[in-house]
Structure 1
Amino acid sequence: MSDERVPAILEELRGLEDPKIRAVNERHGDDHGVNLTKLRAVAKRLKTQQPLAEDLWATGDTNARLLALLVGRPKEFAADQLDAMLREARYPKVVDWLLAYVVKKGPHAEPLRAAWFADPDPDIAAAGWALTQTRIAKDPDGLDLPGLLDRIEAEMADAPSRLQWEMNSCLAQIGISHPDLRARAIDIGERLEVLKDYPTPPNCTSPFAPLWIAEIVRRQDG
């Protein structure tokens, strides 16, 4: 049974909508107009409530889904439920928060990573690559890192944009975290030139893997 508070919460979220924020987000492929600081304040007030999170998600409303990911309990989502949520998540911010705030903090991260990594849908595969980046950085045992570099070298240049971004992130993470593979990672990045011309604001690190690797390694060594 749906939580009776859901209509009032949706109305509150509509009241927090800012057309300027929505316009900026829509240029990046997203579909929400609530300032995220205000959204987090709503979540803080509601506190953690798994049934409410599931009901908010079921509305299909992007602001409500972002709120759901903040008030849910990561350990209480089933693996098949998370798989369905990823396939329903149509916008980048929802996918990012689903992975960061729920999947990574729950018990199903590794089996889902492996399943999504091998999925034929490039958007689902991108989520698998995103979780693989975390494994590369924090728990690389059992990963075939040279094999990952082979895949990246063969597939990244022609991959769809979201999948390409996550492959590139894995390439950079291998170069950053694994000195024995750093030269090869940099060489692949230099030859493929993926994101080489990506517009990067001043004082931000370029996503072009050779520059990204060099900058993070410099900071670590400094």
Structure 2
Amino acid sequence: MTGTKPSEAGLEATVAEVLAELAALDDPRVREVNERHGDDHGVNLGHLRALAKRLKTRQDLALRLWETDDTAAKLLAILICRPKAFERDRLDAMLRQAGTPKVHDWLVNYVVRKSPHAEDLRLAWSADPDPVVASAGWALTAERVAKKPDGLDLGGLLDVIETEMKAAPERLQWAMNTCLARIGIDHAEHRARAIDIGERLEVLKDYPTSPGCTSPFAPVWINEMVRRGA
């Protein structure tokens, strides 16, 4: 540690301790299940959240954990970071470094959505040639459709979905389908068209759905949520 400031030495020690704790929490059975969904870690998410609660908000630690490129460490970093502290370009880089679906989803949902740069990134990512990056833009668009639709061209979004969703790669297709469903659920004037698009494209029509859960097939999803008054 020669030449290292005391505060930096303390941070590095904490990082090492946290990584050791994450390694101890790694469960081969959890890892096996996660790997089926593209996530390469074996830490139970309940245990991960409990660790985050104990650590509390630590932006300095979050940054160092993210830099380890360990999936469990990245998930923990997301839970203990300060979303509004990130610059726009840092968030863009982090999304491209996310690696696994769970890290990608948590980063968008827990960090980017709370950032003052969310709208700028939504626009940039939606048009990105990388379909995984574009899926983040569409996820943010789906949230705006539901919560802050003013200024959105909903008809234009349906045009793009109608043209591009069927052939889109899986993650992008899922995000576009979510946007389609949110338009149909939250905007009655576009509901019939949203349902028609879903019926014709048949995206996720045969997706396996557990008993008691709502199918992600847009026509079923829309009708069920409208029935519930959601």
Match of 1:103 in 2: 112
Quick one: which of 144, 152, 155 aligns to 2:164? Answer: 155
2:170 is aligned with 1:146? no
Aligned amino acid, residue 93 of structure 1:
K
2:206 is aligned with 1:197? yes
Match of 1:114 in 2: 123
Match of 2:45 in 1: 36
Aligned amino acid, residue 82 of structure 1:
L
2:72 is aligned with 1:63? yes
* Runs ≥4 residues deviating over 4 A: none
Quick one: which of 200, 207, 210 aligns to 2:216? Answer: 207
Aligned amino acid, residue 160 of structure 2:
R
Aligned amino acid, residue 110 of structure 2:
Y
Match of 1:52 in 2: 61
Distance in 2, matches of 1:73 and 1:40, equals 16
Quick one: which of 217, 221, 227 aligns to 1:218? Answer: 227
Q: Which runs of 5+ in 1 are unaligned?
A: none
Task: Give 1:194 shift.
Answer: 0.3
Quick one: which of 10, 24, 45 aligns to 2:19? Answer: 10
How many residues end up aligned between the 2 structures?
221
SS of match in other structure, 1:104:
helix
1:157-177 Cα offsets, whole Å, 9 max, x none, are 000000000000000000000
Distance in 2, matches of 1:95 and 1:123, equals 9
Q: Which runs of 5+ in 2 are unaligned?
A: 1-7
Q: What is the TM-score of this pair, normalised by structure 2?
A: 0.94
Aligned amino acid, residue 34 of structure 1:
V
Distance in 2, matches of 1:167 and 1:54, equals 31
Task: Give 1:29 shift.
Answer: 1.0
1:142-166 Cα offsets, whole Å, 9 max, x none, are 1110000000000000000000000
Match of 1:21 in 2: 30
Aligned amino acid, residue 90 of structure 1:
G
Aligned amino acid, residue 29 of structure 1:
G
1:40-93 Cα offsets, whole Å, 9 max, x none, are 111111110111100000000000000000010011011100000000011010
Aligned amino acid, residue 67 of structure 2:
A
Task: Give 1:102 shift.
Answer: 0.6
Task: Give 1:8 shift.
Answer: 1.2
Aligned amino acid, residue 95 of structure 1:
H
SS of match in other structure, 1:165:
helix
Distance in 2, matches of 1:34 and 1:45, equals 16
Distance in 2, matches of 1:41 and 1:216, equals 32
Distance in 2, matches of 1:123 and 1:11, equals 31
Task: Give 1:109 shift.
Answer: 0.7
Match of 1:185 in 2: 194
Match of 2:180 in 1: 171
SS of match in other structure, 2:229:
helix
Larger deviation: 97-106 or 176-185?
A: 97-106
Q: What is the TM-score of this pair, normalised by structure 1?
A: 0.98
Task: Give 1:107 shift.
Answer: 1.0
> CA RMSD, aligned part only?
0.9
Distance in 2, matches of 1:32 and 1:76, equals 27
